[in-house]
Amino acid sequence: MTYPAHDRDDSPFAVPEDGVDIFFGAPDLAPPGTPDPSTRKGKGRRKEGPVLLVAQNRALVTWLCRVRYATRAQIQERWYPLDQMPTRQAVAARLAALQAGGWIEKHPGIGGYPIYQPTVRAYNEVGDGTRYHPNPSLGTMEHTLRLTDLIVELETGRHELPAGYPTSVTVLTEREITAEDKAPPKMRHRAGARSDVWRYQPVYGYLSDDGKRRGFPDALVLPIDPAEWESGQSFANAIAVEYERSEKPLAEYRAIIRAYRDTTRRTAPQEAVAAARQSLAGLNLPQIEALPVISVPRGGRYRYVLYVCETPRIKVLVERAALDLRVGDFVLTMLAPPPRFNRSPERTTKPWPPSKRGRPEAPLGVQLMRLPKARLVDYLLSMGAGEAALEVLTSGDGSGTAA
Write out pLDDT tens, residues 199-211: 667 889 998 888 8
Span 339-347, average pLDDT: 81
Looking at residue 217, what is its pLDDT? Answer: 95
Report the alpha-carbon distance of residue 178 to residue 219 in Å, rounded.
Answer: 10
Instruction: State the pTM of this model.
Output: 0.71
Report the alpha-carbon distance of residue 32 to residue 12 in Å, rounded.
Answer: 14
Report the alpha-carbon distance of residue 152 to residue 158 in Å, rounded.
Answer: 8
Overall residue count recorded for the chain in this entry: 403
Q: What value does the mean pLDDT of the chain take?
A: 79
Residues 244, 256 contacting (CB under 8 angstroms): no
Q: Is the pLDDT of residue 351 over 90?
A: no
Span 270-286, average pLDDT: 78
Residues 133, 68 contacting (CB under 8 angstroms): yes
Span 319-330, average pLDDT: 91
Residues 129, 179 contacting (CB under 8 angstroms): yes
Nearest to 231 by CA among 198, 206, 205, 203: 203
Number of CB atoms found within 10 A of residue 215's CB: 17
Looking at residue 348, what is its pLDDT? Answer: 66
Query: pLDDT band at residue 187, thresholds of 50, 70 and 90?
Result: very low
Query: What radius of gyration, in Å, describes the C-alpha atoms of the chain?
Result: 33
375-383: long-range contacts (C-beta < 8 A, 24 or more apart)?
A: none
Query: pLDDT band at residue 100, thresholds of 50, 70 and 90?
Result: very high
Angle 285-288-292 from CA coordinates, rounded to 5°: 150
Report the sign of the C-alpha dihedral through residues 337, 339, 343, 344, in that order: positive
CA distances from 140 to 77, 137, 270 (A): 22, 6, 41
E strand or H helix at 264, and its extent?
helix 250-267
Which carries the bigger pLDDT value, residue 276 or residue 147? Answer: 147
Question: Tens of pLDDT along 217-270?
Answer: 999 999 999 989 988 788 999 999 999 999 999 999 999 999 999 999 999 998
Number of CB atoms found within 10 A of residue 191's CB: 19
Query: pLDDT band at residue 49, thresholds of 50, 70 and 90?
Result: confident
Report the alpha-carbon distance of residue 266 to residue 300 in Å, rounded.
Answer: 7
Report the alpha-carbon distance of residue 308 to residue 370 in Å, rounded.
Answer: 60
Percent of the chain whose pLDDT exceeds 90: 38
Report the alpha-carbon distance of residue 131 to residue 129 in Å, rounded.
Answer: 7
Report the alpha-carbon distance of residue 60 to residue 269 in Å, rounded.
Answer: 38
E strand or H helix at 12, and its extent?
none
Backbone phi, then psi, for 167, in 5-degree steps?
-85, -30
Q: Is the pLDDT of residue 14 over 70?
A: no
Report the alpha-carbon distance of residue 89 to residue 93 in Å, rounded.
Answer: 6
Looking at residue 23, what is its pLDDT? Answer: 46
Span 317-339, average pLDDT: 92
Nearest to 74 by CA among 131, 166, 158: 158
Which carries the bigger pLDDT value, residue 367 or residue 5? Answer: 367
DSSP reduced 3-state for 238: strand
Q: Is the pLDDT of residue 147 over 90?
A: yes
Nearest to 71 by CA among 108, 116, 106: 116
Looking at residue 218, what is its pLDDT? Answer: 94
Q: Is the pLDDT of residue 142 over 50?
A: yes
Q: Is the pLDDT of residue 399 over 60?
A: no
Looking at residue 5, what is its pLDDT? Answer: 45
Question: Tens of pLDDT along 113-132?
Answer: 999 999 999 999 998 878 88
